[in-house]
Amino acid sequence: MLNYQIHKNLTNVKWVNIFSPWERQRAYFAVLVWFVVIYPFCCLCQLAPFVLFFTGQWVFLAVYAAWYYYDRDAPRRGGYRDNWFRRMSLHKWFADYFPIRLHKTAELDEKQNYLFGYHPHGILGVGAWSCFGFNGCNVSQVFKGIRFSICTLPGNFTAMFRREILMSIGMIESSKESIEHVLNSEEKGRAVVIVVGGAAEALEAHPGKHTLTLANRKGFVREAIKTGAHLVPVYAFGENDIYKQVDNPEGSMLRKMQEWGKSKIGISLPLIYGRGYFQMALGLLPINTSVNVVVGKPIPVTKSLCPSKEEVDQIHARYMEELGDLFNEHKERFGVAKETRLVFQ
């Protein structure tokens, strides 16, 4: 199947117009910077201590180790985001590549805290990064007075340099301690963003598919109740379309291997392909298809330090209902067939 798909793509090559307008050229440049420079660098940061050790840079390694120990709790304490970095034009160019657009359906009160549930995870969650991690979609103007923090796996803060890069854009650990620290702070107008489906949902990220790993994901609801943060459902139309994934139906050998890998290392390994820089047939760059991030209306939550199972189940059921309504209300507007249903599993 994979060989057939690759052959089909290579025999229908569509080349990029190298004389396209400057606005398009800079969008390509921004994506190239992220996927050829920044993203690979963040991945290779895991090897940095070994490189420094075996090249004799022990003094630098010791200094960083001391800093790491001193700063070890920062990911659980809200990080230290750099608004200058978040507002770089590079991020706006990146959003223009797809393009990624942010759509508001209700106002948010800057005196209230919020917990956003972002769906679907997709392969990389580019809509969440652009809209709430960076200011690529002008979120600071769309939701004035609201300060966003995106959750990511604690393991992403173990690599030197990468942890500082992630915290500079306001990322925090996806732990209850981290979430509660932000939402219980005296500062109001805070919003924590959780990509709820996680690694499991990434394996469902096929173009045109709308399947969410949500039916049994209730931890974020519990945290909302414990902190009194209002829940906000978010759906990103097109998030699953930026990469094509090799077919991996439930029960297949590939899916079993991916599930095994996820159980061992905590991340899924979808086999994906996109487009190249000079041609649109095959490559590792994301496909430039529209991603429309629609933010729903807040669901009021009453604070309870020890919520019961019934309370959590009730709010969770309402959340899924509101998310389904959000999907149905906007799906045709963003190119999804009327008969398509949102699937919870």
pTM (2 decimals)?
A: 0.91
Band (pLDDT 50/70/90 cuts) for residue 7 is: low
CB 193 within 8 A of CB 118: yes
Q: What pLDDT shows up at residue 36?
A: 81
The residue extents of the domains of the chain are 2-344
| pLDDT (tens digit per residue) in 210-226 | 999 999 999 999 999 99
Residue 83 pLDDT: 75
Return all residues near 153 (Cβ < 8 A) that are at least 6 apart: 173, 174, 266, 267
Question: d(Cα 190, Cα 187) in Å, to the nearest integer?
Answer: 7
pLDDT digits over 159-179, tens only?
Answer: 898 898 888 888 899 999 999
Give the residue-averaged pLDDT of 264-291.
Answer: 84
Q: Of 20-24, 119-123, 206-210, which gets the smallest average pLDDT?
A: 20-24
Whole-angstrom CA distances from 4 to 7, 104, 218 are 5, 41, 40
Residue in 146, 132, 106 with CA at minimum distance from that of residue 299: 106
Q: What is the per-residue pLDDT for 1?
A: 52
Average pLDDT, the chain: 90
pLDDT digit string (tens) for 230-256? 999 999 999 999 999 999 988 899 988
